Amino acid sequence: SQQGEEDPQALSIQEGENATMNCSYKTSINNLQWYRQNSGRGLVHLILIRSNEREKHSGRLRVTLDTSKKSSSLLITASRAADTASYFCATGSFMNRDDKIIFGKGTRLHILP
Amino acid sequence: KAGVTQTPRYLIKTRGQQVTLSCSPISGHRSVSWYQQTPGQGLQFLFEYFSETQRNKGNFPGRFSGRQFSNSRSEMNVSTLELGDSALYLCASTRPDSYEQYFGPGTRLTVT
């Protein structure tokens, strides 16, 4: 079963606006990652935030993590046409001796010109 | 450094046949994971191999199997193909001492 649930499922915004996507998860995690996928191709790693971190930045990306609410958000500032893609959160858990990375179903982001 | 490569990129098979997909990880990456992606189920974890051993397995039937070779290259095999196996199969290698995964472009399998 999926661990992460992204919200919204789809989002359309004007170029230049900010885009915010949310991810909720169910169990304890060691870290949370965000990935981008362009139209049915491989995923590209964007950013990893550890469970003891609250906020992380990378260029136009800002990720927050609230472990008490079991949620994370990805903010893309000053969006561009090239940001059109699906965005997935992936949670990393260390359970017993298994390291598992579980992906959500993604948010489809469409940047309008 | 070369990225993760997957072959073939596209494949059309008939129900009942079997298929083998190949994945070459980034040099130095010893962990290889396989995922199935469909519009309905999203990205689902199949299995992970590390140093030629299956370390983790998802909830897929025994028709789905894999292996890893000493050079870390991995193959996955699906036997007795069903229409529902049509999907994008993604392979990812994991950077050592990290959770960051690097994905290949995928193999698009169509079962008719």
Tell me whether strands B31-38 and B10-13 are parallel, antiparallel or unpaired.
unpaired
CB contact under 8 A, A48 and B99: yes
Per-residue pLDDT, A96: 46
Phi, psi dihedral angles at B85 (to 5 degrees): -85, -5
Q: B90 in contact with A at a CB cutoff of 8 Å?
A: yes
| C-alpha pair distances (Å), A80 with each of A13, A30, A37, A83 | 10, 31, 15, 5
Query: Each residue of B69-82: pLDDT tens digit?
Result: 999 999 999 999 99
Q: Give residue A70's Cα distance to chain centre.
A: 13
Per-residue pLDDT, A92: 79
Which residues of chain B are within 8 Å of residue A2 when distances are taken between CB atoms?
42
Which residue of chain A comes nearest to B100, CA vs CA? A45
Q: Does the structure show a pLDDT above 50 at A71?
A: yes
Q: Does the structure show a pLDDT above 80 at A77?
A: yes
Q: A50 in contact with B at a CB cutoff of 8 Å?
A: no
Alpha-carbon gap: A41 to the closest alpha carbon of chain B (Å): 5
Per-residue pLDDT, A40: 72
| A87/A69 Cα distance (integer angstroms) | 21
Q: Which of B42, B98, B108 shows the shortest C-beta gap to A105?
A: B42
Phi, psi dihedral angles at B83 (to 5 degrees): -55, -35
Which residues of chain A are within 8 Å of residue B43 when distances are taken between CB atoms?
43, 88, 103, 105-106
* Cβ(B94)–Cβ(B4) below 8 Å: no
Query: Each residue of A2-57: pLDDT tens digit?
Result: 467 888 999 999 999 999 999 999 888 888 999 999 987 889 999 999 999 999 99
Per-residue pLDDT, A1: 44
Which residues of chain B are within 8 Å of residue A103 when distances are taken between CB atoms?
35, 42-43, 45
Confidence of residue A94 (pLDDT cuts 50, 70, 90): low
Per-residue pLDDT, A7: 86
CB contact under 8 A, B43 and A106: yes
Q: B103 or A26: which carries more pLDDT confidence?
A: B103
CB contact under 8 A, A44 and B99: no
| C-alpha pair distances (Å), A92 with each of A3, A67, A105, B98 | 10, 13, 15, 10
Q: A96 in contact with B at a CB cutoff of 8 Å?
A: no
Per-residue pLDDT, A97: 47
Instruction: Name the token pair of B101.
Output: 């995964």
DSSP-assigned letters across all residues of chain A: --S-EEE-SEEEEETTS-EEEEEE-SS--SEEEEEEE-TTS-EEEEEEEETT-SEEEETTEEEEEETTTTEEEEEE-S--GGG-EEEEEEEEEEETTEEEEEE---EEEEEE-
Mean pLDDT of B35-55: 92
Q: Does the structure show a pLDDT above 50 at B83?
A: yes
